[in-house]
Amino acid sequence: MDGFDLSGRVAVVTGGASGIGKAISTRLAANGAQVWVLDINADAANATAEEIKQASRQAWALPCDVADPESVTQVFTTIASAGSIDILVNCAGISHIGTIETTSLADFERIFRVNAQGIFLCMQAAILTMVKQSHGVILNISSMAAIVGIPERFAYSMSKAAVRSMTLSVAKDYLDKNIRCNCISPARVHTPFVDGYLKRNYPGREAEMLAVLEKTQPIGRMSKPEEVAGLAVYLCSDLASFLTGADVPFDGGLLNLRD
């Protein structure tokens, strides 16, 4: 189990105050990492960091809008001035439902700014420190929507495919800098976003529609954020030191076991 020990390592998690990001922040801290929780919701970031501290682990919170270059530069400058950046996990992201016909230019640009540009800016900022210290691990959260066709996810799929491609490029370009870069492509994960979506669009039918969404994974259910976090810890640990440039499907059989 020593390979999972992240003691002494500094991890930065964007979107770290809710859903998958919160689960990863908590799990990295539980494995010994000192975690910077970044989120556009400052109160939620502070609450998550406080939860981690109450578990006798180290965490700090900073508000960050990953789509805003100035915000990203300021936040990563602050973190770098305090020490190393050993791990960067890019979880911040937003969703959109619509076909190409129902997706406006404003929708398209908004999804791109957060999901693709945001990861570009955060990786670019963290790479500066990782190159200087001659090591680092970057983990991006992509999606099965980047790999398989999913109805009414036009803009979202575009953005997650960009994440996948950027992951491969960074992994290739920094092989000789001792910087690894991978991504996880989950299928549906049961987060507060899913519950909110069902409540808004199917009032009174939430349980029925949740069952429908669960059955889209061949395994018969959605993943839990904590399960994604377990994979994230592995990919950020020394046990995965041979792995870079990988897109790891976490899909309940969706990619290979569909009817």
Give the separation between CA 76 and CA 85, rounded to whole angstroms: 9
Give the separation between CA 58 and CA 56, rounded to whole angstroms: 7
Give the separation between CA 24 and CA 5, rounded to whole angstroms: 15
- Is 174 annotated as catalytic? no
- Classify 252 as helix, strand or coil: coil
Give the separation between CA 137 and CA 86, rounded to whole angstroms: 6
Give the separation between CA 115 and CA 158, rounded to whole angstroms: 9
Give the separation between CA 36 and CA 22, rounded to whole angstroms: 11
Which stretches does DSSP call E strand in the chain?
10-14, 34-39, 59-63, 87-90, 136-141, 179-186, 247-250
Closest CA to 66 of 96, 91, 46, 48: 91
Give the separation between CA 190 and CA 119, rounded to whole angstroms: 23
DSSP 107: H
Q: Are 28 and 232 in contact (CB under 8 A)?
A: yes
Q: Are 141 and 114 in contact (CB under 8 A)?
A: no
Give the separation between CA 217 and CA 29, rounded to whole angstroms: 30
Q: Please list the active-site residues.
A: 156
